[in-house]
Structure 1
Amino acid sequence: MSELKGVRKSYEIGKTIGEGSFAVVKAGRHIETGTPVAIKIVSKRDALFNEESLDREIATMMQCDHPNCVALYQVFDEPQNTYLILELITGGTVMDRIVELDMCSEHLACNVTKQVLHALQYLHNIGIIHRDLKPENILYASNDPRSPDYNTIKLADFGLAKFMTGSGAMKTICGTPAYVAPEVLSQEGDAPEGYDCKIDLWSLGVVVYVMLCGFPPFADENRALLFEQIKRGKYYFLSPYWDSVSDQAKDMVSKMIVVNPEDRLDTAQCLNHPWIMNEDTASTTRLHAYIIEILSFVVGNANNSVPIVPFCLFGN
C-alpha cells in the first residue's frame, strides 16, 4: 500500500455535503485528533476555475478570526485540486432554520442580524468587504438544539470578498442581483465613483427585510428591470405582511436600504439602533402566517432563480 500524501495524510475525506460550480464540499475528519471538518475541494481542471478568485478567497479567510465567520484552518494545494480545510457547519442557512421551525419572529431576526453585524464590523475594521451577503451565506453553526452553538451565526462564502484599496473605493460589479447595492450597479459609466463597505449594509438590510416579511423588496425576472428598481430604491412595507412588524424594525430597515451610501447606517450605527439594542425584549410572536409558504418557495427555488445568481463582471 502506497504512503498517503498531501491532504489525505492528515485528513479522512467523507461524503459530499455541498456542491458549487467548480467545487465540492465533503465532510472530513482530522486523522490525529478526530476533529470533524468540512473540506472544500476546488478542481483546477474545471472550465470555470479562476485561480485569482481562489487566491483572493484564501487570502481573505486567512485573515479572518471571528466567532461569527466560518474559519479556514488549512490549505493543501495539489496538482489537480486545491483543498480548503474549513470549520464544519451543520445548522444550515437562516432560511432553512425558519422553515424548520415553521415560524419567524422579530426576536429571531434581530438575533441573526446582530451577529451578522458583529461579523461585518470585524471584517470592515480589518479592511475586508464581503460583497455577497445574502441568506444563503448566513449559516447556523449547529443543527442540534442541545448544542451551545445552536443559535450561533456564521458568515460564509468569501469567494467575492476583497480587501479595500488604499482609496477605500472599489469598482468591480459583483454580488447577487437581488441583494446588490445600487452604487455597485453604477460602475458602468465613463467615470464610476467606486464603492466601499457600505454595500454590505445595504445587502444586510435586504436580508432583514426578507426575514421579516418573507419576500425581497426588489424582484423581477428581468435583471435589467430588477437593477432599475434597486437604483431607484423604492420599496414598501406591504400590508398584511408587515402589519405585525414593529416600528423599530421598520425604522432599522428603512435606514439600511438607502440609495445614498452616505445616508446609510454603518455597522456601529446599526448595532446602536434601538431594534438591535432591545433584542432581549423583541417579540417572539410568529410573524405573518404567509411567511413560511413564501420562504419555502424561496429556499426551494434558490438555485434556479435568476435574480439570486452571483455575478462578477470585468475584473476582480
Structure 2
Amino acid sequence: MDVEYDHLSIGSTVESFNSSTTRYRIIDQLGHGSFGHVLKVSSLAGQEVFAMKVMSTTGQHRNTPMKTIFQSEASKLMQLEGHEHIIELRDTVVLPKINRACMIMDLATEGDLESVFRRIPKNQHEALSKLVAHEMTEALQYIHSKNIVHRDIKPDNILAFLAGTERNPRYLFKLADFGIAGEIDDDKEIDWPELHHQPMSGRAFRHYRAPETYPRGTGIHTRYFEAKADVYSLGVVLAQIHNNTILSSREPSLPITPAHANSLVKHMLEKDPARRASALACKRFLWVQEGATVILLKATNTSGGNGEISNSMKRLSIEH
C-alpha cells in the first residue's frame, strides 16, 4: 500500500522542472518537518539515489513567503555549485497542483558529523577535528567569497559522504542546509528570538551562535550577521569534538589539546568579531593545513545503518 507524504506516494514519480524527460521515483521518506518532508528518490534514467527536500510554496514564515524561502535557498546553492565541500543542488521539481516545490540534492549516505563522531574510535577524534577544520574552512572561505553567510553552522548541517576507493572508502564532509543563509552585510533588521524551541532547521542552534548575534533588548538584532559569526560557530563544533561533548549544550571549554588545535579554536572563539579570525585567516593555521592530508577511513562499526541517514536528512527540513 502506498504511503503519502504531502500527497506524494511512494512509488510515484515527479518530473524535473528543468527537463520534461527527467523523472524521479519516490522510494521512501527520510524525515519530516513543519514545512514539508525529505524523501529518498531515484532517477529513472541513471538509477542514482538522491534526497528530495519538499517545501510548501504557500504561507509565510516570520513574514517571509515560503516561496521566497525556497527560491532563496535554491538560488544560493546554484551560486555555490561545484565546490567539493558544499552539498550540491542537482535539480528542482515544481508541483503547482499541490503547492509544493522540491530540491533534488546529494544523499548523505554516512549521516552527519555527529554520526561519524559517535561511530569512530575516540583515538581518531583529533584526525576528525583536523579533517573538519580543513574541509569546513574551505567551504566557509568559498561561500564568504561569494558574499554569502550560512548562519546555521552546527554538526547537523555538516553531512558525511564517502570518497576514495571501494576498498578504502574515506569520509568527506559537505556543508548543507542554506535555508536561513543570507548575504554579507545585508542591511536589514532581523528578528532573532531566543529560540528555546527548534529553530528553522535542525537542533541546538542557540549553542553555536556568536555572541554578537544575540538579540538585545527589543529582540531585534540590528547588527547583521557577518562572515565571522560562521567562523565562531565552526569553532564551537571543533571545541566540542576535542571536549568529547558534541551537540552538548555546555559552553565549549578551552584550552584544548594539542596546542596548535587550541591556537586555532581560540582565535575562532574570540568574542570580539573584530579580533576573530576570518575563514581565510584560519587556513593559515597548522591544524587546518594538516587537515588537508588527513585520510579518515570509514568506520567498520555501522550499527546506525539507515537511521543515521534518516536523522541527518530529517534536519534538512525547515522547522517552525
Letter in 2 for 1:260: D
How many correspondences in the alignment? 267
In 2, distance between residues paired with 1:144 and 1:248?
Answer: 28
1:173·1:185 contact (CA, 8 Å) conserved in 2?
no
**Shift in Å at residue 38 of structure 1?**
1.4
Q: Counterpart of 2:34?
A: 21
The one-letter code matched in structure 2 to 1:72 is L
User: Equivalent residue for 2:79?
Assistant: 63
Corresponding residue of 1:100: 119
What are the equivalent positions in structure 2 for 1:160-199 lying under 5 Å apart? Answer: 160-165=180-185, 171-174=189-192, 176-186=205-215, 192-199=222-229
2:148–2:181 contact (8 Å) kept in structure 1: yes
The question of whether the paired residues in 2 share the 8 Å contact of 1:17 and 1:27 is answered with yes
Would the alpha carbon gap of residues 206 and 96 (structure 1) be closer, same or farther in structure 2, given more than 3 Å must change? same
CA gap of 1:252–1:127, structure 2 versus 1, over 3 A, is same
Structure 2 CA distance, aligned partners of 1:50 and 1:57?
A: 11
Write the mapping of 1:259-274 to structure 2, written as runs, cut at 5 A.
Answer: 259-274=271-286
In structure 1, C-alpha distance between the alignment counterparts of 2:267 and 2:239, rounded to whole Å: 12
- d(CA) in 1 for partners of 2:211 and 2:273? 9
* Structure 1: 5+ residue stretches without partners: 221-228, 230-234, 285-298, 304-309
Which SS does the other structure have where 1:151 is aligned? strand
Q: Does 1:34 align with 2:47?
A: yes
Residue 215 of structure 1: SS of its match in structure 2? coil
Residue 211 of structure 1 is matched in structure 2 by: 241
Identity among equivalent positions (%) equals 24
How far off is 1:39 after superposition? 1.1
Residues 179-224 of structure 1: per-residue CA shift (max 9 Å, x gap): 011111146568934331111001000011111112279947xxxx
Superposition TM-score, scaled by structure 2 size: 0.72
Q: Does structure 1 retain, via aligned residues, the 8 Å contact 2:13–2:26?
A: no
Structure 1 counterpart of 2:66: 50
What secondary structure does 2:214 align onto? coil
Q: Which residues of structure 2 form unaligned runs of 5+?
A: 1-11, 193-198, 200-204, 297-307, 313-317
Q: Give the drift of 1:43.
A: 3.5
Deviation at 1:105, TM superposition (A): 2.2
> CA shift at 1:117, angstroms?
0.6
Q: Does 2:177 align with 1:157? A: yes
What amino acid is aligned across from residue 94 of structure 2 in structure 1? Answer: D
TM-superposition CA deviations, 1:57-76 (whole Å, max 9, x none): 11111111211011011112
- SS, match of residue 211 in structure 2: coil
User: For residues 182-261 of structure 1, what are the structure 2 equivalents within 5 Å?
Assistant: 182-186=211-215, 192-215=222-245, 219=249, 236-237=253-254, 242=256, 245-261=257-273
User: Does structure 2 retain, via aligned residues, the 8 Å contact 1:198–1:266?
Assistant: yes
Q: Is the 8 A contact 1:170 1:196 kept in 2?
A: no
Q: Find the residue that maps to 1:123 and give its secondary structure.
A: helix
Q: Give 1:136 shift.
A: 0.5
SS at match of 1:183: helix
Residues 231 and 277 in structure 2, CA contact (< 8 A), matched pair in contact too: yes
What secondary structure is seen at the aligned counterpart in 1 of 2:287? helix
CA deviation digits over 1:220-266, x for unaligned, max 9?
A: 7xxxxxxxx8xxxxx6437xxx5xx2111111111111111110001
One-letter code aligned to 1:51: K
Residue 280 and residue 71 in structure 1: after superposition, are their counterparts in 2 closer, same or farther (change >3 A)? closer
- Residue 127 of structure 1 aligns with which residue? 147
Q: Which aligned pairs between 1:73-152 and structure 2 lie closer than 5 A?
A: 73-79=90-96, 80=98, 81-103=100-122, 104-142=124-162, 146=166, 150-152=170-172
Structure 1 residue 147, shift from structure 2 partner: 6.9
